[in-house]
């Protein structure tokens, strides 16, 4: 029986040694290791802006929205095809996530539909870089300027990717990354808010530590504030030294991971494009680090194909179920493309430990299934 995982963390002795060092030092919480990780992310991205690490990508999105002053009575435009984290982060502020349709070829937010969903309460748009595709960012920012909206990028799929010649996060309004176990790099769990807006960064830094003002600087020196003020709501969303140690070891490997992921994705494209019964999505035009490899299985065959691959020990995913069809985020209106893609999208295994032999097996089994179907 084969057993090919859809995605996985790829860790080595570097991560083990880094965590061991933190355990031996005996300072596990948020301290100087987090500061070092943030500085290294800044250097890697090539940004002069602010990088604030938190304990999940969802926390990053939540704090980013809250820092923009978004709350009850406000609305945020979100593509319906995304992980439920995007919707829950908006809901956590008390604001309403407004589900928008997506573009059939890319599963990215459809701005024509987003325009229909604008209201007097719309405050922001949260584009999702689905499958690491950032090609529509220029249009999204133009849409945001035109409609006086802030932009919170859900960049959970695109850490290390490039858009218009710069790394994702450098030029955006507020950009949120995830370092959960299966993302391009991991810190165990974790995330980061990247922005050039000093006020946003300050809010995030205080709010991640229960709102304690300026505690971040003390923590970076492995200390803490005793004499402090608190001006707004806060959470226990900070990143720990243990997480940062894993993240630093992973960041040192990102070019290597990126190369393997790109090669695997390129091979899927070469072997599968034009094959009957499937449609590949349009990929990002600049060198991306592909986080997932979803394609569309046509003619209502998705679940059958998925089951057949499963029988051969090949794990696949269905990213994602349209959020506007979930009970909590249910809408009266329909979003035809999101609903169609929700039934067609199938993601194939993609991670740095996937061997060429395993990938050949996946491709051959998929083709055989499609021909037989």
Ligand X SMILES: *Cc1c(COP(=O)(O)O)cnc(C)c1O
Query: Which positions touch ligand X (CB under 6 A)?
Result: 56-58, 82-83, 85-86, 128, 154, 156-157, 178, 180, 191
- 271: burial class by Cβ within 10 Å (0-12, 13-18, 19+)? middle
**Nearest to ligand X of 54, 209 (CB atom):** 54
Task: Compute the least distance from the CB of residue 84 to ligand X, in Å.
Answer: 8
Task: Compute the least distance from the CB of residue 60 to ligand X, in Å.
Answer: 8
**Nearest to ligand X of 86, 195 (CB atom):** 86
Task: Compute the least distance from the CB of residue 368 to ligand X, in Å.
Answer: 30
**Nearest to ligand X of 292, 309 (CB atom):** 292
Q: Give the nearest residue (CB) to ligand X.
A: 57
**Which of these, 125, 127, 169, 129, lies nearest to 147 by C-alpha position?**
125
**Nearest to ligand X of 181, 277 (CB atom):** 181
Task: Report the SS3 class of residue 176.
Answer: strand
**Nearest to ligand X of 53, 201 (CB atom):** 53
Asked if residues 292 and 323 have their Cβ atoms less than 8 Å apart, the reply is no
Which of the 8 DSSP states describes residue 54?
Answer: E
**Nearest to ligand X of 96, 157 (CB atom):** 157
Task: Compute the least distance from the CB of residue 129 to ligand X, in Å.
Answer: 8
Q: How far apart are CA 37 and CA 81, in angstroms?
A: 31
Task: Compute the least distance from the CB of residue 85 to ligand X, in Å.
Answer: 4
Which structure tokens are listed for 19?
């965590």
Task: Compute the least distance from the CB of residue 83 to ligand X, in Å.
Answer: 4
Asked if residues 239 and 55 have their Cβ atoms less than 8 Å apart, the reply is yes
Task: Report the SS3 class of residue 350.
Answer: coil
């Amino acid at each position: 029986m084969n057993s090919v995982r859809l995605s996985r963390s790829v860790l080595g002795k570097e991560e083990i040694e880094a965590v061991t060092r933190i355990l031996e030092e005996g300072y596990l919480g948020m301290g100087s290791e987090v500061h070092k990780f943030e500085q290294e992310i800044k250097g890697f991205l090539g940004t002069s802006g602010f990088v604030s690490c938190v304990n999940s990508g969802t926390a990053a999105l939540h704090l980013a929205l809250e820092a923009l002053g978004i709350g009850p009575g406000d609305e945020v435009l979100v593509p319906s095809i995304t992980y439920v984290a995007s919707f829950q982060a908006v809901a956590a502020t008390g604001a309403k996530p407004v589900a928008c349709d997506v573009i059939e070829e890319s599963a990215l937010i459809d701005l024509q539909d987003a325009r229909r969903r604008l209201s007097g309460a719309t405050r922001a748009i949260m584009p999702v870089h689905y499958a690491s595709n950032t090609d529509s960012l220029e249009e999204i920012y133009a849409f945001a300027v035109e409609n006086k909206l802030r932009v919170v990028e859900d960049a959970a799929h695109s850490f290390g990717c490039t858009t218009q010649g710069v790394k994702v996060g450098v030029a955006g309004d507020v950009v949120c990354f995830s370092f959960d176990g299966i993302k391009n790099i991991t810190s165990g769990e974790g995330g980061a808010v990247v922005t050039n807006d000093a006020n946003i960064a300050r809010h995030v830094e205080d709010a991640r530590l229960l709102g304690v003002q300026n505690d971040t600087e003390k923590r970076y020196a492995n200390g803490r504030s005793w004499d402090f003020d608190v001006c707004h709501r806060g959470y226990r969303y900070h990143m720990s030294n243990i997480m940062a140690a894993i993240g630093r070891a992973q960041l040192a490997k990102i070019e290597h991971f990126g190369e393997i992921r790109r090669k695997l994705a390129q091979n899927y494209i070469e072997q599968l494009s034009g094959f009957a019964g499937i449609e590949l999505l349009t990929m990002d035009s600049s060198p991306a680090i592909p986080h997932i490899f979803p394609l569309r299985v046509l003619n209502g065959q998705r679940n059958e194909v998925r089951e057949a691959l499963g029988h051969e020990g090949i794990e696949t995913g269905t990213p994602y179920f349209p959020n506007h069809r979930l009970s909590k985020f249910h809408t009266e209106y329909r979003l035809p493309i999101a609903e169609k893609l929700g039934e067609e999208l199938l993601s194939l295994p993609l991670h740095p430990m996937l061997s060429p032999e395993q990938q050949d097996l996946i491709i051959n089994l998929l083709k055989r299934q499609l021909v037989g179907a």
